[in-house]
């Protein structure tokens, strides 16, 4: 049987039916085309461990974080984007594993929060960038989390800005559907503390969720899996009632082991959660945010910049203190 039709038994386990999630991984899905989630040897914790092997924290960070499957984020720092996504997906493909990528480059990114501000300089620049992102993946299997914050971060935006963002997200989904046929795209839907399920369902639909594989929850946040499952199911209830469809969803469990204390920016006392797996209350649980990478110059990450790896934060997150 060709490798792209081989499915490891552990990846074909039934997924709970959560308002639109498929009962099993279909034979032509990116999950069934691979033998497990990809462990990124170039992640920031893996790179830190390699550079600091004698550090007393290195063994724990290696075993409990660096050796776990997690997403790689792509933005303006990634260089030629098609080359970058192609290389990452190609490395995963070479070992028959499923990579998770995050597209994080929408114009006016994190416009309200500001800690992760930036993004493409114009709508046309973003359209070019996202088309190349998808083209780099090509026909190889992958999962893509599309633009964390983009739908939740609208409180300080004008209606014209929101309409522009929706057009960009709709086009992004079109690009993946056309250029990356074996990629499942999850349009990010924020977290349970951000917007009501009714509002988020409307935002998802306006941004093209009906043509995406699903939506993602809790990216870079701390809410428990149970709280996210209730929120995801409520979103699907509203999608069904208002628009006639539901979608499977993922939950970022990378830092939700102790739940949320109400803070979102480097709060103390958080803990890593369930490693990436199918099921678990959603279609799959994923480590999207890398444990130990800063949310910005705030909380226990004071003095850092968003995305900077902080080994002491990572170490404490392993043990939850």
> Would you state the structure tokens that stand for residue 83, as one six-digit string?
């080359």
The fraction of the chain above a pLDDT of 70, given in percent, is 91
Residues 295, 292: Cα–Cα separation, whole Å: 9
Q: Is a pLDDT exceeding 80 seen at residue 286?
A: yes
| Per-residue pLDDT reduced to its tens digit, 153-193 | 888 899 999 999 999 999 999 999 999 999 999 999 999 99
Q: Does the structural domain 3-319 have CATH classification 3.40.1160.10?
A: no
Question: Alpha carbon of 2 to those of 29, 91, 92, 166, 182: distances in Å?
Answer: 14, 19, 17, 39, 16
H/E stretch holding 87 reads: helix 81-94
Q: Is a pLDDT exceeding 50 seen at residue 46?
A: yes
Give residue 153's pLDDT: 86
Residue 226 has a CB neighbour count (10 Å cut-off) of 12
Give residue 4's pLDDT: 37
**Mean pLDDT of all residues in 200-226:** 98
Lowest mean pLDDT across 19-33, 41-55, 260-274: 19-33
Greater confidence (56 vs 114) lies with 56
The catalytic site residues sit at: 149
Strand order in the sheet with 142-146: 72-74, 100-103, 142-146, 183-188, 214-217, 249-252, 284-286, 277-278
Give residue 3's pLDDT: 43
Which region, left, alpha or beta, applies to residue 26 given φ > 0 means left and ψ of -120 to 50 means alpha? beta
pTM score: 0.91
pLDDT bucket at 117, cuts 50 / 70 / 90: confident
What residue ranges do the domains of the chain occupy?
Answer: 3-319
The strand pair at 183-188 and 214-217 is best described as parallel
pLDDT bucket at 112, cuts 50 / 70 / 90: confident
pLDDT bucket at 1, cuts 50 / 70 / 90: very low
**Mean pLDDT of all residues in 77-99:** 98
Give residue 8's pLDDT: 36
Helix and strand numbers (H, E) in the chain are: 8, 8
């Amino acid at each position: 049987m060709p490798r792209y039709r081989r499915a490891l038994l552990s990846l074909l386990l039934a997924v709970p039916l959560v308002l639109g999630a498929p009962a099993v991984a279909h034979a032509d899905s990116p999950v069934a085309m691979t033998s497990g989630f990809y462990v990124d040897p170039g992640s920031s914790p893996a790179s830190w461990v390699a550079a600091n092997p004698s550090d007393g924290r290195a063994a724990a960070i290696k075993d409990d974080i660096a050796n776990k499957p997690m997403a790689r984020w792509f933005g303006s720092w990634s260089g030629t984007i098609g080359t970058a996504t192609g290389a990452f997906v190609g490395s995963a493909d070479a070992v028959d594993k499923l990579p998770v990528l995050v597209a994080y480059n929408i114009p006016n990114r994190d416009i309200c929060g500001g800690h992760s501000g930036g993004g493409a300089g114009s709508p046309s620049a973003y359209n070019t960038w996202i088309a190349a992102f998808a083209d780099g993946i090509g026909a190889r299997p992958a999962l893509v989390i599309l633009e964390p914050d983009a739908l939740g971060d609208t409180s300080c935006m004008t209606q014209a800005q929101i309409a522009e963002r929706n057009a960009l997200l709709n086009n992004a989904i079109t690009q993946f559907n056309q250029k990356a046929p074996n990629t499942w795209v999850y349009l990010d839907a924020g977290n349970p503390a951000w917007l009501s399920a009714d509002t988020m369902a409307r935002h998802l639909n306006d941004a093209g969720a009906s043509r995406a594989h699903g939506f993602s929850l809790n990216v870079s946040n701390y809410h428990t899996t149970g709280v996210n499952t209730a929120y995801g199911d409520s979103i699907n209830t509203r999608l069904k009632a208002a628009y006639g469809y539901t979608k499977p969803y993922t939950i970022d469990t990378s830092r939700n082991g102790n739940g949320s204390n109400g803070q979102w920016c480097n709060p103390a006392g958080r803990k890593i959660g369930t490693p990436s797996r199918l099921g678990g209350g959603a279609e799959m649980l994923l480590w999207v945010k890398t444990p130990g990478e800063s949310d910005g110059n705030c909380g226990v990450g004071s003095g850092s910049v968003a995305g900077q790896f902080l080994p002491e934060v990572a170490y404490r997150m392993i043990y939850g203190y």
